[in-house]
Structure 1
Amino acid sequence: MEAILLEYAWVLLVLVVLEGLLAADNAVVMAVMVKHLPQEQQKKALFYGLVGAFIFRFVALFLITILVNYWQIQAIGALYLLFISIKHIYEQKFKKSDEGEDELEEGTQKGKGFWATVAKVELADIAFAVDSMLAAVAIAVTLPELGDFHIGGINAGQFGVMFFGGIVGMIIMRFAAQWFVKVLNDYPDLETAAFLIVGWVGVKLVVLTLSHDKVGILPHEFPHSTTWKLIFWVVLLLIAVLGWFTSVAKKKKEVIE
């Protein structure tokens, strides 16, 4: 019994680390989504997003065997993230002019009220949740079953490990998003890099969609392969590092001038 408990503790630790890694790129998306709100509302939006995420992921654990059949969930998430990324970069680079700046600012704020923002955060989290749950299930089902009680088709012991790992991951995501908001406020020019990361996360969801059993354009195992994971994290880190150095250099230049 002690050996089984140690195995459960080890897998829980692995899940917490995994959720933390998955939360990193998700947190950037959340930060970008709430950044336009007044500072006092940003924390509230992230908090409500966390509450909604908790409820959805708890329900998703019961319904994961059903949810995995709907590739459209991740497809919609992918299209939405790619849309906001491309839209922002296009407006920043091609539409921003001295004459149209006020009009652009007004246009970009439409539909971005507090509750509309919370709803967008929730929708994005639904897309992330399926990926997170699939990864958690793949790890948790390797554990020996504890007793005969099952929840949502998953052994109660395995379910508990997935549940606590997911909760820790959501908490990490919430505080990481809050930190990213602060960084974006301190270095406004970093916003373009942040939206590039949002687009890259959208590409990640595209890969997951294309590798779904019912789509079959990419091999089912590809999104979880070492090759893809290396490509994803190397590109994400390159965007972040280049964006950071560019924004810091621009800020220093502005201070000198």
Structure 2
Amino acid sequence: MLDISTAAFWIAVLQIILIDILLGGDNAVVIALACRKLPAEQRKKGIFWGVVGAIGLRIVLIFFALQLLAVPWLKIVGALLLFWIGVKLLLPEEDAHGDVAASTTLAGAIKTIIVADAVMSLDNVIAVAGAANGSMVLVTFGILVSIPIVVWGSQLVLKLMDRYPIVITAGGALLGWIGGGMIVTDPALPANLLSGIPYAKTLAAIGGAVLVVLIGKWLALRAAPRAAVELTVNDSTKGSS
């Protein structure tokens, strides 16, 4: 359990906030889509109660994730998932919001926001659980601080990501860092396995960050020529039709 007066606590809070910004930017899009058909006077209520319900459900999911991460081998599995999520973050983005239905009723919009957030938040839940070091206080505090940033600041963050690609790279590296640190703390590993290596957890975290960035950049470079070929083919097809 981390002490709120320590630097480690506030570093972990900062990590959770960054995770929520990087992986939660889509939530603002979902909220906007779900509430777009509501009468103007009900939109604020839809946004407020939808966010409250979604955040409450996410905290419950993270609570169970924290319990599961105490089971042998699951931290390793969670770390591998974080590596995959980090690599995916570095790849060209595809629009995934076309199937978010708008509702004409307040209750329907709130339900849509909560359900969509739950479906979309698997990556967020795993990453936050890994950064929280077993502390529900840390999870709750970090997420509550993140709410206004995600809801009201996500568009600014998305613009920064578009303008400064290094922000995306840093996000992928952060997920790799958390994953690397999770692997070496899995209960399945012998307690003295890394006892002779100074700063073993930090070195593993650095290795995870570097691995995610290298693989993500490599795959992004490979995907670029294919995307260019597909664009050329589509343009040719349109021109001949």
RMSD: 4.4
TM-superposition CA deviations, 1:63-88 (whole Å, max 9, x none): 55227644112311320231142133
Normalised by the length of structure 1, the TM-score is 0.50
> Equivalent residue for 1:13?
5
CA contact (8 A) 1:23 1:172 kept: no
The answer on 1:66 being equivalent to 2:71 is yes
CA contact (8 A) 2:79 2:182 kept: yes
Instruction: Give me the whole-angstrom Cα distance separating, in 2, the residues matched to 1:68 and 1:130.
Output: 15
- CA shift, 1:58, in A, is 2.9
The percentage of aligned residue pairs carrying the same residue is: 8
Match of 1:207 among 173, 180, 183: 180
Letter of the aligned partner of 2:131 in structure 1?
Answer: S
Match of 2:90 among 81, 85, 91: 85
The answer on 1:75 being equivalent to 2:75 is no
Unpaired runs of 5+ in structure 2?
A: 36-46, 101-111, 214-241
Provide closer, same or farther for how the CA distance between residues 220 and 72 of structure 1 changes in structure 2, counting only shifts above 3 A.
Answer: farther
The answer on 1:32 being equivalent to 2:25 is yes
Normalised by the length of structure 2, the TM-score is 0.53
More helix by share: 1
CA contact (8 A) 2:27 2:151 kept: no
Letter of the aligned partner of 1:11 in structure 2?
Answer: D
> Equivalent residue for 1:176?
149
Instruction: Give me the whole-angstrom Cα distance separating, in 1, the residues matched to 2:65 and 2:178.
Output: 18
> Equivalent residue for 1:139?
none
- CA shift, 1:170, in A, is 1.7
Letter of the aligned partner of 2:59 in structure 1?
Answer: F
CA contact (8 A) 2:16 2:142 kept: yes
Instruction: Give me the whole-angstrom Cα distance separating, in 1, the residues matched to 2:161 and 2:138.
Output: 33
Provide closer, same or farther for how the CA distance between residues 206 and 185 of structure 1 changes in structure 2, counting only shifts above 3 A.
Answer: closer
Q: Secondary structure at the match of 1:66?
A: coil
Provide closer, same or farther for how the CA distance between residues 184 and 12 of structure 1 changes in structure 2, counting only shifts above 3 A.
Answer: closer
Match of 2:95 among 108, 124, 127: 108
- CA shift, 1:197, in A, is 3.3
CA contact (8 A) 1:27 1:173 kept: yes
Provide closer, same or farther for how the CA distance between residues 185 and 206 of structure 1 changes in structure 2, counting only shifts above 3 A.
Answer: closer
TM-superposition CA deviations, 1:162-193 (whole Å, max 9, x none): 43333212211223323540313665733744
Unpaired runs of 5+ in structure 1?
A: 1-7, 89-106, 137-161, 236-257
> Equivalent residue for 1:246?
none
Range 64-73 or range 109-118, more displaced:
109-118
Match of 1:197 among 141, 146, 170: 170
